[in-house]
Structure 1
Amino acid sequence: MKSPRAIAIIHADTDVPGSLPELFGEQGLDLDIVSISQALPAPEALDIVVVMGSPESAYDHRLSWLDAELSWLKAVQARGVPTLGICFGSQLLARALGGQVYRNSTAEIGWTEVQTLQDEWAHKGPWLNFHFDAFTPPPGSTLLAKTDLAPQAYRKGKSMGVQFHPEIDAQMFDTWTDYWRHTEEGQRFLASAGDLPERMRAEIQAKEAGNRANCRLLLEDFLGAI
């Protein structure tokens, strides 16, 4: 029997998928990593898709790749391919399903226990949030969790979006700090961030085992629903 094809879309060649390959492997699934700089696979060739995060905005159509990815993701959803969107990925998935993405009034940065809204979805975290934008849940979706600042998780059909980063680990966070050091936007953030990056990395390391266990349960929930 052919194994399901699962892919994770990353939005820079230097991005990494955190704990996801290991956790998919525990479920007997290989997770192939596809950069947005590559040709995106035909939707009919896919069984599971993960759309990863990005420091970009999911409504910034100045990005050379955004329109093509959004059109591709709409085609993926039209075929009913189960999709997990994470942070930026949850926002782009919301757009593909008919929702909207907007600049939020306040950034949400740090470890947050979310308010769960459905009895069958008990993934309170705490989860690491790091976002300036937010989504509106797609029409016909079920809002699963929120915080005072933003919707946090939704499900529509076999697809699910989560605003937070369940997959975060120290190696992944290091790619964030490298981006901040080497981009104008990142340097502006670092200029006002004080010791936040150092504190966040230490917290990620301290919480890594518990966060991985929480991510495992979240992934089992996503896969179990498909």
Structure 2
Amino acid sequence: MKASRAIAVVHDVGDVAGCLPPLFAEQGIDLELRCVDAGLPDPASLELLLVLGSPESAYDHRVPWLAGELAWLKAVQLRGVPTLGICFGSQLLARALGGEVYRNREAEIGWTTLDTPHADWSLKGPWLNFHFDAFTPPPGSTLLGSTDLAAQAYRHGRSLGVQFHPEIDTAMFDTWIAYWQRSEEGRRFMAEAGDLPERIRAQIAERERANQDNCRVLLKDFLERS
């Protein structure tokens, strides 16, 4: 049965879901954003789940909500709920399914085209990567895409994890800039980044329609297999 409702877990009250709400609406699915601080729904109540990004690391147990979300996500996966994890979400999903997350040897920032070894999944992008950590695909999963720096996409049962940001738009990127401006770690990043944020934002604006089209195809693939 096709899902009529999806929950997207976000990790800050100011987070947005980029182009995902209108794309889900095209499929007749209502997308509800739920902040992790507001409490997570009963796994038995879920039809479809998304776990979105965060500036936190998926292995940093100093983060007050991380252990609870990880345990909850494990329970969700045991119920076989179709789940799409994006960036941080793909890393936490990998951990919930038995994979590992670690600090990568270098940051991966910018538009990247994927190596896609499986003929039935050829969503090469280019996609926007913006991450400092990486995951090992969980046991029993199929690696769908990678770059020289990191695994990028995997499927495990009815769930899909993608390291990149298919949902990115300028409104979402503006929330990242706001976070960098108000947090100590973010201000350090901005001080070292030069004009990188401005250049990335301009690229997002230029590519917004094409990226949304790519995201539509990815979302359709996920929903057809869920």
Distance in 1, Cα, partners of 2:65 & 2:175: 20
Decide whether the 8 Å contact of 2:3 with 2:47 is kept in 1: no
> SS in structure 2 opposite 1:167?
coil
AA at the equivalent of 1:12: D
AA at the equivalent of 2:196: L
**Coordinate RMSD, CA, aligned:** 1.1
Corresponding residue of 1:133:
133
> SS in structure 2 opposite 1:111?
strand
User: If the length of structure 2 is used for normalisation, what is the TM-score?
Assistant: 0.98
Corresponding residue of 1:42:
42
Distance in 2, Cα, partners of 1:17 & 1:221: 19
Distance in 1, Cα, partners of 2:72 & 2:45: 13
Distance in 2, Cα, partners of 1:130 & 1:177: 13
Structure 1 gap ranges (5+) = none
Q: 1:3: Cα distance to partner?
A: 5.5
> SS in structure 1 opposite 2:50?
strand
> SS in structure 1 opposite 2:160?
strand
Corresponding residue of 1:29:
29
Paired residues for 1:138-157 under 5 Å:
138-157=138-157
Distance in 2, Cα, partners of 1:197 & 1:206: 14
Give the count of matched residue pairs: 226
- 1:197 and 2:187 equivalent? no
Corresponding residue of 1:58:
58
Paired residues for 1:63-212 under 5 Å:
63-212=63-212
Distance in 2, Cα, partners of 1:4 & 1:137: 29
User: If the length of structure 1 is used for normalisation, what is the TM-score?
Assistant: 0.98
Distance in 2, Cα, partners of 1:24 & 1:35: 19
Structure 2 gap ranges (5+) = none
Distance in 2, Cα, partners of 1:42 & 1:89: 18
Corresponding residue of 1:218:
218
* Residues 3/117 of structure 1: CA separation in 2 closer, same or farther (3 Å cut): closer
> SS in structure 2 opposite 1:8?
strand
Question: Per-residue CA shift, 1:25-81, capped at 9, x if unaligned?
Answer: 111100011001111000000010000000000000001100000000000000000
